[in-house]
Structures are given as C-alpha cells and as structure tokens.
A and B are shown apart, each in its own frame.
Chain A
Amino acid sequence: MITLTIDGREVSVPAGSTILDAAKKLNLKIPTLCYLELEKLHYKNQVASCRVCVVEVEGRRNLAPACATPVTPGMKVITNSKRVLSARRKNLELIISNHPFTCLTCLKSTECELQTMAWEYDVQVKYPNGERMRHKKDHSSAALFRDPDKCIMCRRCETMCNEVQTVGALTAFGRGFDTIVAPAEKNEIVDSPCVYCGQCVTVCPTGALIGHSYVNQVWNALFDETKKVVVQVAPAVRVALGEEFGYPAGEIVTGKMVAGLRRLGFDAVFDTTFGADLTIIEEGTEIIGRVTKNENLPILTSCCPGWINFIRYYYPSLEYMPSTTKSPQQMTGAIIKSYYAEKMGWDPKDIVVVSIMPCIAKKYEASLPNQESYGIRDVDYSLTTRELAKILKEGSVDLRYIEEEDFDSPLGVSTGAGVIFGSTGGVLEAALRSVYELVTKETLENVDFVALRGLDGAHEAVVDLGVRKIRVAAVSGLGNARKILDKVVSGEEVFDVIEIMACPGGCINGGGQPYAKDRDAVLQKRMESLYKLDREDKLRKSHENPEVIALYKDFLGEPGGHKAHDLLHVENFEASVMKEWEQF
C-alpha cells in the first residue's frame, strides 16, 4: 500500500493505483472526459488526452493528469487550487472551441458528457471564431453515423473497437490538429471491417458516433393511412426502456411499453420473443441434425448480426459453421408479412414492420438484400431502445402514467426461453431446454442452465443428451469470440454448440440501449430482470409455445421444412455479403 495526501487528507491505495483511484477512495470527484474504466470488461481508456483531470503535485513542475499518474509514497496532491481550476477550465474551453455549437439538434444532446461538463464547470466560450475541424460526415452505412467534427479525440472508441472487440475498424488518422478518428485511409465506414456492434457508440462521450435515426420514417409510416404498421419488440428492450423514463435500472416495463406503442397508433404490437421461440425450433432442429450426424460442428448461433459480420470478415473459412436460421427480428418480420397478413387479409405490400431493438447492427441486418421473403422486406425499419423512448415522448406517452397492456395475439405469446435471448448465454440455454427434450423424449425438470449465465464473457458446460454428451459454450464480446474461434480453428478445444453475441454481456448491453453511466451495475440489473421474467413465466420452453405450435400446424408445416426454409432461413449465406474484405 502507498500512502499519500490529497487536499490535506491522507489515503492509502495499492501500488500501481493512479491519483484518480486514490481520490475516488476519498470520495473526491476529479472530473474526467477521455478516461473510462469498465472493470467487467477489463477495459481502461487512459490516454490522458483531454487534460481536464489535471491536478497539482507538490515538487512537480507541470500539472499531472490524475487519470494516468501513478501514486508515489508521500505524494502531496492538490485538486482544487486556483492553478488547477483555471487550467481545467481552459482545457475544456479549448476543446469546446473546436466543437460544433449544434447541441440543440444533436442526437446526443442531454446525454453528452462534454455538454454536461461544460454546464457543470460554467464554461464560457472565448474562442468562437477559432480554427475548427471540418470533416465529412459519414452517412455511408444504414446503422452507424459518424460526425468527426464532434470528436474530442478521447480514443475510447478506438480502445473499444480495437482492443475489447478486436475488430480494428478505427484509427487516429493524421497528425496534430488535423487528426481524425476514422477507418483506415480515412475511408467511409462501409469500406472498413466495422461490424456495427455499436459498442463505440456506448462509450463515445459526444455525438461523434451514433446510431442512424429512423424516427421520421416510422412517424411517416404511422401517419400513412394506406399502411398497416406492425411493431415488434426485442426482449432486452423491456428491461432497459424504463431508464429513459426515470425508472431504476432493470425495471420491467413490458406492459407499459406495449400500451405506449398502441397509443402511438401501431396496428399490432408483437413480441420478438415469439420469433426467438421460432429461432429455437429451427436452430434446434439444425443442432439436432448436425449433432446426431456429427458433421459441421460446432454449430454457431446466428441471431447476432454484429457477430455474423465478424465471422465473415475474420474467419471466412468457418462460414459453414453458423446456423442458417434468420435472427428473431427477421423471423418475426417474415411471419408478420406472411402468416399474420394472411390471417388478417392484408396485402403484405401494405404492411410496414418496425422493430424495436437494443442494437444498431439490427438496422444493418434489416437492410441486407437477402433478408427478405418472396421479394418483400422482412423488416422495414429498426429503431433502438433510445429511439423508442424518443417517439414515446414525442407522442405524449409517459410510461410512468400508463396502465399495462398485453401484446397482441398470435405473435405476442412467448416463453421464458425467448425472453432470455436478451442476455449472454440465453440463446444457448433456450436451445438446450428444447433440444434436450426433443432428443431424450424426457421432461427437463430443472430448466436453469446456471453455468451459462453471467457477464464474464465466456461460459461453458457439458450436457448429456443420452445419445451422447455435448460440449457447449456461450461467449459474449467479439474479443472473447476471437479467443474461442482461434481455439476451434487450432483444434485446441472441441465444442458442439457455441453461442456468440457481439456485445459484452449480450443484447442488454447493445449499442442501442440507454446510455448507462454505471455500466457494470446497470447490466447486472438488466440481466437479473430478464431471468426474473423467465422464472415467472408459465411457459419456459420454446417448443411449448402454443402459438408457435399452431403456426407450424396451420402454416409452416415441419420445422426445417420447405416453407420454413423459405421464410425463416437465409438460403444462401454467401448472398449476405455486402462488403468485400479480401484480407480480413
């Protein structure tokens, strides 16, 4: 332990700690902007580029960045001298002088860390006419929007993209004032290996990286009287949306959300967990087929478009491994525009399917050319949880003052198995519940595969299916995906089924979720709520969902059959390539 004094108060911290760590122990708030630490992810952004955390250290000539300066025995630190405060404010002014003054129309407004700090520190704009960055905005992708002029060079996105996710789409390009965080060669994002996981969006302190907004398109559809607008909501949304309305993290707002969506004028409000149950039937059939034949193993889950992009760019030789099933979002869309349309006597061409997702990669997935059935788009617009909060507020719906309602039938009936898709390990757990029963013909008494749960990034288990034991793993975060895939390729580890989610922790931590300040704690709450919903659900196995059973009986025929293939599978996996990425 090292003892030092900060503002005259003594504190002891382990060797290797920074001044910032020591200050935290004293409950002293030193402001930070570029610094970010996410313990669960072992993620630390410590580039000390913003210089707003500077402090005075006795005997040191210049000011020290608290976030990156290790403590030494007997160190005397002052955090609030005149010199410190004026330097801090000056640094903040300089950052702001090179930042667009477009807060009123910025999608990140009220969530922007720079904006908050400017307000907290009473910053005056002294150099409104100074030199400014002028870079091209990047509208090139359907999912991610880049506005480099709003970048403050904190490099959090780079750390996230390159080190945590190991995607490596971003770099600091250029030198000095002209530096810009961009893909290689300053290309547009579509010409980079970006997988659209959106984790950069969750750490960007400003509006420089943000999901594309489809709010206006959705309003236009809702106001178009010739259209039937049907909405579906992903499991991870119901445990996060409340945060946008002042509820504590993890609050379950399913019923209120459904009621709110109905008020906005959606013609039907469906649950993507229905599609999740369908996914289990189709993917489960595939798992059983491949495991019993012992071919093309391991089978990898295909629900997460960020992950599917990742395997395409980085492990093209493993492309046969992911399941061919579409994701729950796409399945639900496809069933709405076929089965449900038929039931209602609607022309599929007049139906607009809107999905509410915790994700920005889902926007990309919805836009893919092969994600359609019989020439009709499965999903027309995908909104994030954040965007849903916006349209609810714009539509005068306050979740706090609205009575709960139920999803519409038939695509509103779901199981606990579908709900836990929203957390890492959930898809695999749901699949095992059904696969076990279908293979062994025995009832699974204890449906909780606890070994696969948790936010640690990688879990594995061995399940006895009678005919043989299978080894399964659930992995979240693309850095962890890379680790396990490398082992699969080298033959060091052998698995039968692997679930992979691009975002660390799964969809509850998606790039479209409400921004969380205390991220690790918030994720834990969201995850617990999903498992609570599952626990309290009467139906906990996908193959027992009565509406899914009815759908196969009345419409689809056999799981994995001809019609199911047309609607629920990506016929040609190859066709989903939009980018050519010859070397990655």
Chain B
Amino acid sequence: MTEQKNPCCTGSNPGYAELGAYIDALKIDPKDPERKEMLIMTLHKAQSIFGYLPAEVQKFVAKKFSIPHADVSGVISFYNYFTTTPKGKTNISICMGTACYVNGSEKILQDFEKALGIKSGQVTADGRFSIESLRCVGACGLAPVVLINEHVYGKVKQGQAEKIIEEYLIEYGEQVEVQ
C-alpha cells in the first residue's frame, strides 16, 4: 500500500482530542474481552472527524482500546464504508447497485475516471476530486445514479462526466466553500 500524505492527521490535530474524549466516555475496560464491540461505532466517529482512517488514527484508536493495530486495520478493511484514503473536497460516487449496473454504471465510472485521470478509490493530486463506487443509494428509478458529495445526478449517460462536474462546480462548488 502506498504511503498516503496525511494533511489532516499528523501532529496535534484537534480531532484527536475530540476522538479521545469520545472513546474515554465509552469507559473501555482493557481487560474486557468484549471491548471490541464498541470498535465499529468508534471508527464511524473517527471517520466523521478526520474524513478517513489513516494509520495514525488507527493506532490511536488501537491504543485507546488496548488492542493490536492489526485488529483495527482488519475491521476497517472488511467494511466498505471505512476508507483509509482521504476523499477529495468534491467526492464523486458512482452507484454500482444492480439497477445502476445493468444500466451501464460501469461505463459511467470509466468516464469519470478518464475525465479526472484517477481511478476509483483515489484522489487527485491537488486533493480537489475523488472517485469511489458504492452500492445502491435507493434511487433506482433514476439509474444510473451519480452522487457528487450529497447531490444526486440521475439517468446519467455516457460522455456527460465533464459536463456534470462543471454543473456541480457552478451550482454548489467552490462558492459553498467560500460562504
């Protein structure tokens, strides 16, 4: 696995204090064999704070739980939701659920990959865009569906990737950040 730059999680990121307080409130007994049951909710919290779960954050959680780093890493690797790579400011998710898939979402994914020059699961060098695939978003009537951050684009056709990204940026893009 390639070493990721950690723009967020080195040094004294205040996120650690928040995550630390969250875990402390769980009152984990290092001798309790069942303590791992609270690991998944903790990782949800961690990902909501840092955006992703780099090795530093994993080790922080492992230490707080008195469990090996390997245990934390194993759980993260099992669940699709957890990610160890940072997401871009603009995260593009292509639905690969059954309805979208049979309507050609694989081609749509390739379109976006080509447009941004990155593969699914990666982020552009400037940190602005990332692409991922996900399972059914519950909007099968609009298949194939693309999500840009929280905004839904339905019935996407091949060759529209660049247009959709532009539309999104004009409507919600950088201005949202400025506000």
Q: Which residues of A contact B (CB under 8 A)?
A: 162, 167-175, 183-187, 192-193, 582-584
Contact = CB atoms under 8 A, between A and B. Distances in A.
Contact of B68 (A162, A175, A185, A186): A162
Contacts of A184: 55, 58, 68-70, 72-74
Residue of B67, B71, B84 with highest tally of chain A CB at under 10 A: B71
B78 A185 contact: no
Contacts of A173: 73-74, 77
A582 B69 CA distance: 12
B63 interface: yes
B18 to A, nearest CB: 19
Interface of B: 1, 55, 58-60, 62-63, 67-74, 77-78, 84
Nearest to A181: B74
B71 A162 contact: yes
Contacts of A186: 1, 77
6 contacts: A172-B74, A172-B78, A173-B74, A184-B68, A192-B70, A583-B69
Contact of A185 (B55, B60, B63): B55
A193 B68 contact: yes
Contacts of B74: 171-173, 184
A134 to B, nearest CB: 16
A583 B70 contact: no
B71 to A, nearest CB: 6
B154 to A, nearest CB: 29
A186 B55 CA distance: 11
Contacts of B77: 171, 173-175, 186
B78 A175 contact: yes
Given A187-B1, A583-B63, A169 B78 contact: no
A184 B72 CA distance: 8
A171 B68 CA distance: 9
Contacts of B55: 184-185
B118 to A, nearest CB: 21
A81 B75 CA distance: 39
B72 A174 contact: no
Residue of B58, B59, B60, B73 with highest tally of chain A CB at under 10 A: B73
A187 B74 CA distance: 12
Contact of A169 (B60, B68, B72): B68
Given A184-B58, A184-B73, A185-B1, A584 B84 contact: no
**When A and B form their complex, which 10 residue pairs have the shortest distance between CB atoms, in order from nearest?**
A168-B68, A171-B74, A184-B73, A171-B70, A184-B70, A184-B69, A173-B77, A583-B59, A174-B77, A175-B78
A154 B69 CA distance: 21
Contacts of A187: 1
Contacts of B60: 583
Residue of A162, A183, A184, A193 with highest tally of chain B CB at under 10 A: A184
Residue of A173, A185, A187, A193 with highest tally of chain B CB at under 10 A: A185
Nearest to B79: A175
A101 to B, nearest CB: 28
A583 B62 CA distance: 9
Nearest to B60: A583
Contacts of A169: 68, 70
A441 B142 CA distance: 92
Contacts of A584: 68-69
Nearest to A171: B74
Nearest to A173: B77
Nearest to B58: A184
B47 to A, nearest CB: 16
Nearest to B75: A171
Contacts of A582: 59
